[in-house]
Chain A
Amino acid sequence: MLLSLLTKRYPGMRAWLTQRLTGLLMAIYSVILLVLVLVYTPSTYADWLKFSQPLWWRFATWLFWICLSIHAWLGVRDVLKDYVPHEQIRMVLLKLVVIVLWLYMIWITVLLWNL
C-alpha cells in the first residue's frame, strides 16, 4: 500500500517518508551520542579527541549530517511554503537554504576528515 504510493507521481509521499526515516536515524544517533558523552564525559582536549577520532564515530556523524541536511531542507521548505507567500522572495530564500546546507555539509566533511 505504502510502497505503491512511493512513485514519482506522488513526490509528497516520498518527502513524507524521507522526513520520517532521516528523523528516526538522527534520533537513534542522538541517543547513542548522549549516552556515550554521559559515560565517557570527555573533559580534556586529549579525551575529546580520543572520543571523536574513531572512524566509526566519524562515519556515523557524517551520515547523521547527511540526514540532518535532508531533514532540515524538507522542514524549512515546508515552513517557507507556508509563511512566505511572495513567490520570488520565497524562491530566493529556498535557494539560500540549499546553499547554506551544502556549505555546512562541506564544512563538517572537512572537519571530520581532518580529525
Chain B
Amino acid sequence: MRRVCNRAITKMDIKNNSKMSQAKKNRPKNLNLFTIRMPINALVSILHRVTGCALFLALPLLLLTFQMSVSSAEHFLTVKELLNSPFSKLMLLGLAWAFFHHFFAGIRHLAMDVHWATTLIKARYTSKMVFVLGGIATLLLAVSWVL
C-alpha cells in the first residue's frame, strides 16, 4: 500500500517538475543592458567589474613592459619611446582610468563592508565621488604628460 502511494507521489512530482521547468523556460528574461536604466550605484558596480577584467587582460602587457625596461639600456629607451607615442598614451590613460576607478570603487566597497555610508543617499554620494576622484586622478596624469 505504502509503495503504491509513494509511486503515485513520485509520478506527480515528475509531472509537476516538468511543468515547473516549462514555466521557468517561459519566464521573461530582461538582461539586455541597453534596456535597463542604471542608477549611478549600478554603474559604479558594473564598471568595477569591467575595469577589473580590463586590468586582468592588461597584465601580460604590464609584465612585458617591465621585462623590457629592466633588460638593458637600449630596451629601456625603446620602452620610453614606445610609451611616448600618442596611441600608447591614450591606451595608458584608459588603463590608468580603469585602475583608478577600480581603486576608488574598491575602497568604497571596503567602507561599505564596515557599514559606512550604506544608506541610499550616502551610497549615491560615494558613487559620485568614485567617478569624480577617478576622473581627477586620470586628468592629473594627462596634465603631467603635457607639462
Chain A contacts to B: CB under 8 angstroms? 20, 23-24, 27, 30, 44-46, 48-49, 52, 68, 72, 75-76, 79, 104, 107-108, 111, 115
Q: Is the CB of A23 within 8 A of B76?
A: no
Q: Is the interface of B mostly helix, strand, loop or mixed?
A: helix
Q: Is the CB of A23 within 8 A of B53?
A: no
Q: Is the CB of B70 within 8 A of A111?
A: yes
Q: Is the CB of B106 within 8 A of A23?
A: yes
List of A residues within 8 angstroms of B10 by Cβ: none
Count chain A CB atoms within 10 A of each CB in B49, B70, B73, B99 and give the residue with the most: B70
Interface size class of B (residues with CB under 8 A): 20 to 34
Contact with A along B36-70 (1 / 0, CB 8 A): 00000000000001001101100110010011011
Min CB gap A90→B, angstroms: 15
Chain B contacts to A: CB under 8 angstroms? 49, 52-53, 55-56, 59-60, 63, 66-67, 69-70, 72-73, 76-77, 99, 103, 106-107, 109-110, 113
Q: Is the CB of B110 within 8 A of A23?
A: yes
A18 to B138, CA, bound (A): 28
List of A residues within 8 angstroms of B76 by Cβ: 44-45, 48
Min CB gap A58→B, angstroms: 11
Tell me which of B56, B70, B73, B77 contacts A76 (CB under 8 A). Answer: B56
A68 to B49, CA, bound (A): 15
